[in-house]
């Protein structure tokens, strides 16, 4: 068994032990779903390369507004993250990315990195929505209210609507 095959087995064993759903998308390429509470799921790529384990997770789409505040938040948050950091892609969508040296890929390190991805993506999600999508949230709230639709999944943002009134 090659070193990369052994590391892939370590990854798969760690995911299975934590009962995480994942799909294999080729040798050393795993697409993992991390369940959350604020962000219902965070999808994360784990890709073994000859030199590192690459980690990438989509967090949210390009913010509609307040880019300076969103980017300030992301940069300040980067100082407190372990093993991953926020970045944006060409479209301006927000991701978490990281690299783990192959010699450091252990069950404990996988747990630590995936825990950090989940804590950041799920924990920062509502803040990112509040900073970057406040107008859309208020418009959606008003539309649902006018139609008598449920506001249950917007309840975390009630203060944004109350502030406006």
Question: Closest Cα partner for 46 from 21, 77, 78?
Answer: 21
Neighbours of 112 (CB within 10 A): 15
Predicted model pTM: 0.92
**Numbered ranges of CATH 3.30.1460.10 in the chain:** 3-124
pLDDT at 10: 94
Give residue-wise pLDDT tens across range 43-67.
Answer: 999 999 999 999 999 999 999 999 9
The CATH architecture of the domain made up of 3-124 is 2-Layer Sandwich (3.30)
């Amino acid at each position: 068994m090659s070193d990369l095959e052994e590391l892939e087995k370590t990854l798969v064993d760690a995911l299975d032990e934590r009962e995480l759903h994942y799909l294999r998308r080729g040798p050393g390429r795993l697409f993992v779903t991390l369940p959350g509470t604020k962000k219902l799921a965070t999808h994360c790529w784990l890709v073994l390369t000859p030199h590192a384990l690459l980690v990438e997770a989509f967090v949210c789409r390009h913010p509609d507004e307040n880019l300076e505040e969103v980017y300030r938040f992301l940069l300040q948050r980067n100082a407190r993250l372990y093993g991953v950091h926020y970045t944006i892609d060409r479209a301006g969508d927000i991701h978490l990315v990281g690299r783990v040296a192959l010699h450091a890929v252990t069950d404990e390190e996988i747990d630590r990195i995936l825990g950090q991805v989940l804590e950041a993506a799920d924990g920062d999600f509502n803040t990112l929505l509040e900073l970057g999508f406040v107008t859309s949230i208020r418009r959606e709230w008003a539309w649902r209210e006018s139609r008598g639709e449920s506001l249950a999944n917007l309840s975390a943002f009630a203060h944004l609507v109350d502030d406006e009134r």
